Structure 1
Amino acid sequence: MNQPDYEFLRKLLREKSGLDLSSDKQYLVESRLLPLARKAGLPGIGELVQKLKDGNSSLIGQVVEAMTTNETFFFRDKVPFDHFREAIMPELLKARASRKSVRIWCAAGSTGQEPYSLAMCLKEMGAALSGWRVEIIATDLSQEVLEKSKAGLYSQFEVQRGLPIQLLVKYFKQVGELWQINSDLRAMVQHRRLNLLHDFSQLGTFDVIFCRNVLIYFDQETKINIFGRLAKSMEADGFLVLGAAETVVGLTDVFKPLAERRGLYRPSGAAPAKPPAFGTLQKMATMAGH
């Protein structure tokens, strides 16, 4: 791929998705777009770029999807899900005891492993959530990955990555060579196509926002803008969960980190919270009864 073609693709991707590719990522672009070019019956990336310059809108959408579909797996990085079980939900059970409802947004839901991991965490809480309404909204730029998420069908390889065997047995059923997450868990997750660069205020207000491993691809100005809008979409005492390589520190003061919980943030106006002790399942059941 020649340099002008690469520069054209960089500019296109930044405008359409916020993806900020550095000048040394040509190998990544080639590995993702060459299969797409061949599928479209084109001999190479140069011809693909020419079609894009001609304004082929469906091809533009496919290029954006190919470049922004990120890897995901069940309980990825483990720590955010420990935070969810041990700090976030116990506090929300107390704070939302009167209204008995919690809204959670997975802002880069991809093929569903993250929202379904959260759904399994919630199911495991059992009686503590009896009588509660819990909404999980999963959004993504790619319609293709959202369709896969809705279906909840995963290969043997996908369920072996990060998913404990006891949860596989408990919450999935085998369909031929695939595994499908049970319908009651699928019903816990609503899917919406969404570009984080665009207005998302119509989604409403959330108690918890998981926005992991997506902001790393954006330039600084875009990140600051998205953090500002995330803060407006969150309850004053809500929680923001970022990926391991992401932070608000040095970018914005609308969120503050919880020193003892890596990757966990609160809106700056929120009262400081003490993280609950480990092994909180029993306590959670008690809190829900209050």
Structure 2
Amino acid sequence: MISAADYEFFKKYLKQHSGLILSDDKHYLLESRLVPLLRKFEIADFGRLAAVLRDNSSSAVAEAVIEAMTTNESLFFRDKTPFEVFTSIMLPKLHAARSPSAPLRIWCAAASTGQEPYSLAMTLKENPHLVGSRRVEIFCTDLSNEVLERAASGRYNQFEVQRGLPIQMLMKYFKKVDDMWEISPQLKTMMTFRKLNLLNPFVGLGTFDIVFCRNVLIYFDAPTKTDILNRLAKVTAADGYLVLGGAETVMGLGDAYKPLPNQRGFYVPNVPAAAAPAAMASR
């Protein structure tokens, strides 16, 4: 059992290093996620684990704790609506506004095991008239090295490909390798994978046409959400888009973005009207 003092330490540690907010009634969740790490690293108890984190004596342990407490639930074409709006609104407007030589840059800020970015890649392949000859770059980041390695492999088991993936997409874009399904190399080439903590500066990322940051902000407190949104806005094109999860909103979290009319969960940068044409011309 974890002591009250140790639980308070882990609450503060997780908030500081991952932004995760644990309420006072999550003792069971913390214990169930971290007990396997006690065995793995041969640490006697939660008090000793807290001591290891306090003196920063093992970066491997610290990373394992953050990864264990991070939820990495994902499936193909999750919630469907974001992919429908991606095809019906975002891509047509961006394609019309950009020169044929301008790349299409998409950031999946919580890429997890890769289902979201690969779903976007398949959608793009199914709609070549909305892409043209332009280069597509899908930048995939996550806090966890483990899930990013899985995403980069592009390999999924039978259960995973049955979750949201239409059978025609499976047969068209995957091949069977032993007991796994591996995604096509033509889709892998669109991807760049990098570990990134959303609490840290977004240095050297460039500008993105579309940012998918779904089901992440719900784990943060309001000041952290506002800070992340402000920094996301700085790397979103003036005429670009932000996509959040269905239970997330920018309302009450500053004025970096404003809602896309009649589209819940979709936002555009809140820039002066004259700024967008100038931004488009500069690309």
Same fold (TM over 0.5): yes
* Unpaired stretches in structure 1, ≥5 consecutive residues: 272-290
Amino acid paired to 2:42: G
> Aligned residue for 1:166?
168
Q: Structure 1 residue aligned with 2:157, among 150, 155, 158?
A: 155
| 1:5 corresponds to | 6
How do residues 119-158 of structure 1 correspond to structure 2 at under 5 angstroms? 119-158=121-160
Work out whether residues 113 and 148 of structure 2, in 8 Å CA contact, stay in contact via their aligned partners in 1. Answer: yes
> Are 1:105 and 1:138, in contact at CA under 8 Å, matched by a contact in 2?
yes
1:51 to partner: Cα distance = 3.0
Ranges in structure 2 where 5+ consecutive residues have no aligned partner: 274-283
Alpha-carbon separation, structure 1, partners of 2:59 and 2:256: 36
RMSD: 1.7
Q: TM-score, normalised by structure 1?
A: 0.89
1:168-183 → structure 2 map (5 Å cutoff): 168-183=170-185
Partner of 1:94: 96
Q: Distance in 1 between matches of 2:205 and 2:106?
A: 11
SS in 1 for 2:140: strand
Q: Deviations over 1:152-208 (max 9, x none)?
A: 111111111111111011101111111111111111111111111111131000110
Cα offset for 1:97?
3.5
Matched, 1:199 2:201: yes
What is the alpha-carbon distance in structure 1 between the residues aligned to residue 14 and residue 166 of structure 2? 37
1:83 maps to which residue?
85
Matched, 1:37 2:47: no
Distance between the aligned counterparts of 2:88 and 2:262, measured in 1?
12
2:27 maps to a residue whose letter is: Q
Percent identical residues = 56
Change (3 A) 1:169 1:107: same
Of 215, 222, 225, which residue of structure 2 is paired with 1:223?
Answer: 225
Deviations 1:76-98 (A, max 9, x none): 11111111111111111111145
Which amino acid is the alignment partner of residue 80 of structure 2? K
Q: Give CA deviations for 1:19-64 in whole Å, capped at 9, x if unaligned.
A: 1111122222112111222222335434433433342322011101
TM-score by length of 2: 0.91
For 2:239, the equivalent position in structure 1 comes to 237
Preserved CA contact (<8 Å) 1:256 1:265: yes
Tell whether the 8 Å contact from 2:100 to 2:134 is kept in structure 1 after alignment.
Answer: no
Q: Deviations over 1:94-144 (max 9, x none)?
A: 111454421100011111111101000001013442311111000111111
Q: What is the aligned residue count?
A: 272
User: For the Cα contact (< 8 Å) 1:69–1:142, is it kept in 2?
Assistant: no
Match of 1:103 in 2: 105
| Distance in 1, Cα, partners of 2:45 & 2:156 | 31
RCO greater where, 1 or 2, for CA within 8 Å and sep 6 or more? 1
C-alpha separation between the residues in 2 aligned to 1:128 and 1:262? 23
Find the aligned partners of 2:175 and 2:37 in 1 and give their Cα distance.
Answer: 33
* Runs of 4 or more above 6 Å deviation: none
Contact 2:91–2:130, Cα closer than 8 Å, also in 1: no
The residue type paired with residue 219 of structure 2 is: Y
Aligned equivalents of 2:4, 2:180: Cα separation in 1: 42
Distance in 2, Cα, partners of 1:202 & 1:83: 28
- In 2: Cα distance, 1:86 partner to 1:35 partner: 45
CA distance in 2, matches of 1:217, 1:127: 38
Q: Which residue of 2 aligns with 1:214?
A: 216
Corresponding residue for 2:17? 16
- What's the secondary structure of 1:201's corresponding residue? coil
Q: Does the CA-based 8 Å contact 2:92-2:130 persist in structure 1?
A: no
Shift of 1:258: 1.6
